[in-house]
Amino acid sequence: MSRRGINPAGVDEGSSQMIEHEQWHELGQQLRVDSVRAAAAAESGHPTSSMSAADLMAVLLAKYLRYDFDRPELASNDHLIFSKGHASPLLYSLYKAAGAISNEELLTFRKLGSRLEGHPTPEIPWVDVATGSLGQGLPCAVGVALSAKRLERLSYRTWVLCGDSEMAEGSIWEAFDHASHETLDNLIAIIDVNRLGKEARRCSAGTPPPTCAGPRPSAGERSRSTATTWRRSTAPSSRHWPATAGRSRSWPERSRARG
């Protein structure tokens, strides 16, 4: 089942959309709580930088990201790069929500011997590049997207979560400029403007400048729809995510549970 089409029998389109938004909100809240729990267990980390982007990542995971976490080697998988690598608690919470890691492993964040380091590294099978130095993730993502379009000739998309502070880095502007020059319509940069750092405008690099008022999943969805009008649209595959507590339930099961 496609993530676009959760529509239980007898539920009209408006009600189905409301259910979908409620699910995004619930997932966003789960990502926030898990980010704080991971950082609290480690007594270090960046929980606030993680919490500010939770709704954005909730909508991405629930509706748009095409990724088989059981088979990270699949060439057709999308790529997700956290350019703001210090928000790693959010990335690891996303992995937990997708069922890729357990709650027990999440709480090993920043512990000696754990693969969940303070910044993401390719030791984790779902991480493409090590990030954390601000301004480095987006340039790497441009290379991934360029490879998909020019070398591999594959339709996967590259999603990048950027922070507002790193918008001041020259490497970011060069990456935007190169992406525009190469017309990389398979590259989507999501900028988390949480007002905790510096902000820079990016219109001159040929990228669209939409913003949304947060933290509301529906606002993030509207911004995403606007931001990607310049690229071709592709239909995502289905994705399941576990409930915060109790047994894991799929999206359709959760919809039926709500009545």
Range of the domain at 65: 15-234
Is residue 119 in some structural domain? yes
For 107-155, how does the pLDDT look when each residue is reduced to its tens digit (9 = 90+)? Answer: 999 999 999 999 999 999 999 999 988 899 999 999 999 999 999 999 9
Is residue 148 situated within a structural domain? yes
- Say what the pLDDT of residue 104 is: 97
Q: Could you tell me if residue 43 is inside a domain?
A: yes
Taking the alpha carbons of 97, 101, 104, 109 in that order, is the dihedral positive or negative?
negative
As a whole number, the mean pLDDT across the chain is 79
What single DSSP character describes residue 82? E
More confident residue, 233 or 73: 73
Per the CB < 8 A criterion, the answer to whether 219 and 210 are in contact is: no
CA 188 to chain centre: 10
The total of structural domains in the chain comes to: 1
pLDDT value at 190 more than 80? yes
CATH classification of the domain holding 154: 3.40.50.970
233 pLDDT above the threshold of 70: no
pLDDT digits (tens, 9 = 90+) for 195-219: 776 444 544 455 554 444 444 555 5
Max Cα-Cα span within the chain: 53
**Is the model's pLDDT at 257 over the cut of 80?**
no
**pTM above the 0.85 mark?**
no
Cite the DSSP H helix spans in 135-194: 137-146, 170-181
